[in-house]
Amino acid sequence: MPDLPFSPAEYSDRLTKTRAEMAARGLDAVFVTDPSNMAWLTGYDGWSFYVHQGVLLALGGEPVWWGRAMDAVGAGLTTWLAKDNICGYDDAYVQNPAKHPMEDLSALIAERGLSAARIGLEMDNYYFTASAFLSLQQNLPSARFQDATGLVNWQRAVKSATEIEYMRRGARIVERMHQVVLEKAEPGLRKNELIADIYHASVSGVDGYWGDYPAIVPMAPSGMDATAPHLTWDDTPLKTGESTFFEIAGSYRRYQCPQSRTLFLGKPPQKYLDAEKAVLEAVEAGLEQARPGNLCEDIANAFNATLNRLGFQKDSRCGYAIGISYPPDWGERTMSFRRGDKSVLKPGMTFHFMPALWLDDGGLEITEPIVITETGVECLCRTPRKLFVKG
């Protein structure tokens, strides 16, 4: 048996929750292609999501891992599944315009007695293509397909004690990554060299816990580049008189703990200090609403009301659910802190409270990964909540 990150009982509970939702939607099976959902259900962990793969889960029996034949070896090493439920397709299907892997999956679905079943698919997913859907329709004409995007994601919303512990380990790692930024950053240091140090800290880990790769690469734009949210890095030297925000994550066992802080080299202009004050007050207002029974929008409304009162605006959401994840995103793609999101907060839910501001000549990101507790909220990281100034 592989050294699995969770107990057999926890995997069993995950299947039970997922199947209950499947039954409620009238589904006989789901085909799960999101690698986060694959890992959550079976333990599978490999960088193979660039080819077609997935987990077929029916209302009874073990799940079936299906993917490239060479990756079936990895499935045997990382999942709890029986050998008969690990199925690999021939390499002739890989990136071959004349054949599609879904032809093989269709045969497997028929072999498992599901050729006329109602099957849920993750239709709006990074890892499931239009051609995959067309192939399934063509090769399984009696099957009825239904959009099941997010079905498994929502079952992941409330974390177990073990999952939260893994996220705390990720939190210790990202704390160390921010310490490295403060220790190493100085005018003249090339950005790529600083990112190399950040990566070293993220993989080295903390307190004996190793670091996994984050689902998003470090975002570290400076100056005018920091007026945009999702730029990465180059070899430009850091400069006095510029801000750089570091949107980075610690990861342990694929559980992501993102946190952002902003560093200003030199004396920050007054507008940055004003923005810092506004964000910090707004974060406190949002955290006061982060408790069981409240809604996701309660956090956003409290945050935005305070931010607006202090003279700043934020048009985008200010948070989202996090947990286990693979590239290209560390979010769970379920709940968001935004007006209109009526999702009820429950103990064990985890979020990235992400109140970033992008100004006319730079950016300010001071964010917190949080977990909803029985009585309120816990910030997973101990990184000082402020604009860092150096030099």
Q: Which string of DSSP letters, residue by residue, matches 137-162?
A: HHH-TT-EEEE-TTHHHHHTSBPPHH
Instruction: Give buried/exposed letters for 347-358 (b at 16+ CB in 10 A, else e).
Output: ebbbbbbbbbbb
pLDDT of 358 reads 84
Contacts of 189-192 spanning 24+ positions with Cβ under 8 A: 189/237, 189/238, 190/235, 190/236, 190/237, 190/238, 191/220, 191/222, 191/233, 191/234, 191/235, 191/236, 191/237, 191/238, 192/233, 192/234, 192/235
How many whole angstroms separate alpha carbon 323 and alpha carbon 372? Answer: 13
Among 129, 102, 187, residue whose Cα is nearest residue 391: 187
In the numeric block, the tokens 């890992």 are attached to 39
DSSP code for 83: G
Domain covering 8-155: architecture: 3-Layer(aba) Sandwich (3.40)
pLDDT of 311 reads 93
pLDDT of 220 reads 96
Residue pair 336/349 in contact by the 8 Å Cβ criterion: no
**Burial environment of residue 152 by CB neighbours within 10 A (0 to 12, 13 to 18, 19 or more):** buried
pLDDT 10s per residue in the chain (391 long)? 788 999 999 999 999 999 999 999 999 999 999 999 999 999 999 999 999 999 999 999 999 999 999 999 999 999 999 999 999 999 999 999 999 999 999 999 999 999 999 999 999 999 999 999 999 999 999 999 999 999 999 999 999 999 999 999 999 999 999 999 999 999 999 999 999 999 999 999 999 999 999 999 999 999 999 998 899 999 999 999 999 999 999 999 999 999 999 999 999 999 999 999 999 999 999 999 999 999 999 999 999 999 999 999 998 999 999 999 999 999 999 999 999 999 999 999 999 999 989 888 888 999 999 999 999 999 999 999 999 999 8
Q: How far is CA 51 from CA 47, 242, 343, in A?
A: 10, 42, 34
In the numeric block, the tokens 């952002």 are attached to 260
CB within 8 Å of 50: residues ≥ 6 apart: none
Residue type, 127: Y
Among 72, 83, 3, 16, residue whose Cα is nearest residue 43: 3
Q: Which fold has domain 161-390?
A: Creatine Amidinohydrolase (3.90.230)
Does the pTM surpass 0.85? The reply is yes
Radius of gyration, CA atoms only, the chain: 22
Domains 8-155 and 161-390 share a fold: no
- Residue 230 three-state SS: coil
How many whole angstroms separate alpha carbon 376 and alpha carbon 345? Answer: 10
- Domain-wise residue ranges, the chain: 8-155, 161-390
pLDDT of 360 reads 87
Q: Take residue 39 and report the two structure tokens written for it.
A: 């890992």
